[in-house]
């Protein structure tokens, strides 16, 4: 069966997926023998996932119906969640940026860039409801994400500013004791921090800290600085859980075909399912 490329986004997604699939061990089962350290540092290898509602809303929120999805019944609603913000009661928006957040919320869910299968950015990639794999050796570290089959390289030695802004930015990492510290800059400002419209500008810097608690639990912390959007830096914290199934692996979630009706229905009405056409 032939598969016709209908958009540049689909082509890009397939190319990224091909790169990931060529990396040894990215989608293979986890090793049964797991050393405690690699080159003197904690072993972060494995498939990890957040188990919270941060992707819906980083702030505390109640359960809420999504009226446009009433046919889904109990499935078409927002689950309640606790805040993962530890440094403030709420995200410290500047006045104009807070107004933009409310505009984003008014146009959700279709306005969420991730709904259109754009890359989720940092830090959101780490707490989407999809697993990701850390591939750690003796040099640079790779994060492979199931959503959009994307990946992210942590530069452990070649630290420099990114030449251009991108969806995932450039990540420079180093060890502080047993904690992997990663600073990401060069984010293009087009991603949301969650589904509820929390956003940022291209001036954002994200400083992440990954600290093993034990073999299967990791403390994740991300401090967000963006003087164009927020009045001061703020921090989120959560636990990441390692999938201990010996056959655990990343499965494909190439979301481009699912996003094409949303992106291109105005120029190609045939993308809309027949039952939803006027």
Which has the closest alpha carbon to 183: 212, 148, 210, 146? 210
**Residue 216 falls within a domain, yes or no?**
yes
Task: Sort strands 132-136 and 46-50 into parallel, antiparallel or unpaired.
Answer: antiparallel
Domain annotation covers residue 89: yes
Answer yes or no: is 212 within a domain: yes
Is 37 part of any domain? no
Angle, CA of 116, 17 and 108, to the nearest 5°: 15
In a domain, 36, yes or no: no
Structure tokens, 265: 């229905």
Domain that holds residue 236: 8-28+47-243+251-276
**CA pair distance 98, 124, nearest whole angstrom:** 19
Domain count, the chain: 1
In a structure prediction context, what are the per-residue pLDDT tens digits for the chain, which is 278 residues long?
333 333 333 343 444 444 444 444 444 445 557 899 999 999 999 999 999 999 999 999 999 988 888 888 999 899 999 999 999 999 999 999 999 999 999 988 889 999 999 999 999 999 999 999 999 999 999 999 999 999 999 999 999 999 999 999 999 999 999 999 999 999 999 999 999 999 999 999 999 999 999 999 999 999 999 999 999 999 999 999 999 999 999 998 988 888 777 776 676 676 566 656 56
Residue 148 lies in a domain: yes
Q: Is residue 34 part of a domain?
A: no
**Contact in structure between 138 and 145 (CB atoms under 8 Å):** no
Q: Is residue 60 a part of any domain in this protein?
A: yes
């Amino acid at each position: 069966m032939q598969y016709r490329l209908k958009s540049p986004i689909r082509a890009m997604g397939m190319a990224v997926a091909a790169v990931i699939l060529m990396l040894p061990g990215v989608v293979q089962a986890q090793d049964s023998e797991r050393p405690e350290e690699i080159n003197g540092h904690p072993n972060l290898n494995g498939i990890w996932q957040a188990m919270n509602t941060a992707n819906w809303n980083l702030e505390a929120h109640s359960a809420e119906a999504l009226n446009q999805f009433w046919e889904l019944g109990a499935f078409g609603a927002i689950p309640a969640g606790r805040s993962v913000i530890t440094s403030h009661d709420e995200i410290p928006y500047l006045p104009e940026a807070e107004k933009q957040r409310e505009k984003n919320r008014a146009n959700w869910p279709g306005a969420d860039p991730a709904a259109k299968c754009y890359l989720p950015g940092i830090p959101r990639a780490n707490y989407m409801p999809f697993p990701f794999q850390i591939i750690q050796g003796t040099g640079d570290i790779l994060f492979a994400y199931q959503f959009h089959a994307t990946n992210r390289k942590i530069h452990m030695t070649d630290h420099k500013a990114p030449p251009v802004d991108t969806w995932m930015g450039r990540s420079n990492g180093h060890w502080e004791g047993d904690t992997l510290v990663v600073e990401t800059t060069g984010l293009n400002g087009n991603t949301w921090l969650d589904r509820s419209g929390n956003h940022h500008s291209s001036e954002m810097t994200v400083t992440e800290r990954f600290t093993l608690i034990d073999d299967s639990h990791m403390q994740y912390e991300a401090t967000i600085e963006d003087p164009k959007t927020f009045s001061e830096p703020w921090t989120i914290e959560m636990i990441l859980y390692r999938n201990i199934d010996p056959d655990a692996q990343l499965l494909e979630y190439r979301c481009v075909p699912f996003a094409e009706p949303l992106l291109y229905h105005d120029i190609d009405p045939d993308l809309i399912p027949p039952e939803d056409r006027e």
